[in-house]
Structure 1
Amino acid sequence: MSKVSMSTRIDASANQVWKVLSDFNGIPVFVDAFEKSTMEGLGVGAVRSLTLKSGGPPIVEKLERIDELAKTLSYSIVTSPLPLKDYFSTVEVIDLGSGQCEVKWYSTFEPKDVPEAEAVKIVEGVYTGGFEGLKKLFGAKLLK
């Protein structure tokens, strides 16, 4: 089983960031790779279909659990063109006070038909894109 765990600090309150992250259908707001998201159902068990800007088949994900108090959301991939199987991920928002928070994004999965290092790099790329999108959304200047 492969694992990826990444985190970043955001210059916004935990409540502000959680409002964005807890909208299971709202991921295109902060992950630029996604053109749109369509969702069936509400709450735990809801399924979103993510259309990639690059084209190809959608990524279909299922909301496995959400905890508003702990500010955590977990989801799994149902079907995907990505070389991953048994993917399960959690996003967590931690209040740091003073208008800042930490976002943790971690997952477990099995690489599918690619070396583990390649699968890990793909997942890290998605998380990095999400973190950059959140920082942009909340007005941070990104260092290049």
Structure 2
Amino acid sequence: MTSAAVSLDVPRSADQVWRLIGGFGSLPDWLPYITESRLTEGGRVRTLTNDEGQVIVERLEAFDEAARSYRYSIARAPFPVRQYRSTLRVVDRGADGARVEWSGEFVPDGVTDAEATALFETIYRDGLRALAETIAA
């Protein structure tokens, strides 16, 4: 297994940030390259469509409102990995705002560890950059 992780400090309270990103179906609210999120199976499976029309199916594995985090796995996606599990978490930094942490573990499939890590670091970094822009707007 290999992994990727990116974090971002934002000048908003952890509760404000969690209200924006904490819903499992909320990606289109802050991630512009995800144009649709459809929840099924009682909200435990999300089917995402990106701006290129690709479909990604993810399953909610754990949700912790108090800790402001959720963990999910990928059931189907156009990524060169398998056994993907990711965590999105919002950490309270008090008067300094919040830190958003996005991390994942996966087994590369047809690419090197470095290539798979770089792919997900880019996805997480671009996503958190989009989140910062949404919060600033």
Q: Name the TM-score, length of structure 1 as normaliser.
A: 0.89
- CA shift, 1:99, in A, is 5.7
Pick one of 84, 102, 105 that aligns with 1:105: 102
Cα pair 1:11 1:135 within 8 Å, conserved: no
Residue aligning to 1:54: 52
Q: How many residues align?
A: 137
Q: Name the TM-score, length of structure 2 as normaliser.
A: 0.93
Cα distance change on mapping 1:137 and 1:119 into 2, 3 Å: same
Aligned residue runs from structure 1 range 64-79, under 5 A? 64-79=61-76
Q: Secondary structure at the match of 1:129?
A: helix
1:24 equivalent to 2:38? Answer no
Cα distance in structure 2, aligned partners of 1:114 and 1:94: 32
Q: Secondary structure at the match of 2:93?
A: strand
Cα pair 1:10 1:134 within 8 Å, conserved: no
Matched letter for residue 128 of structure 1: R
Q: Secondary structure at the match of 1:42?
A: helix
Q: Say what the alpha-carbon RMSD is for the aligned residues.
A: 1.4
Cα distance change on mapping 1:42 and 1:22 into 2, 3 Å: farther
Cα distance in structure 1, aligned partners of 2:34 and 2:104: 19
Among the aligned pairs, what percent are the same residue?
Answer: 35
Pick one of 124, 128, 135 that aligns with 1:127: 124
Matched letter for residue 130 of structure 1: G
| Structure 1 runs of 4+ with >2 Å offset | none
Q: Secondary structure at the match of 2:136?
A: coil
Q: Deviations over 1:18-58 (max 9, x none)?
A: 11221111112222221111110335xx10011011123x1
Matched letter for residue 109 of structure 2: K
Structure 2: tracts of 5 or more residues without a match: none
Q: Would you tell me which structure has more helix in proportion to its own residues?
A: 2
Q: Secondary structure at the match of 2:111?
A: coil
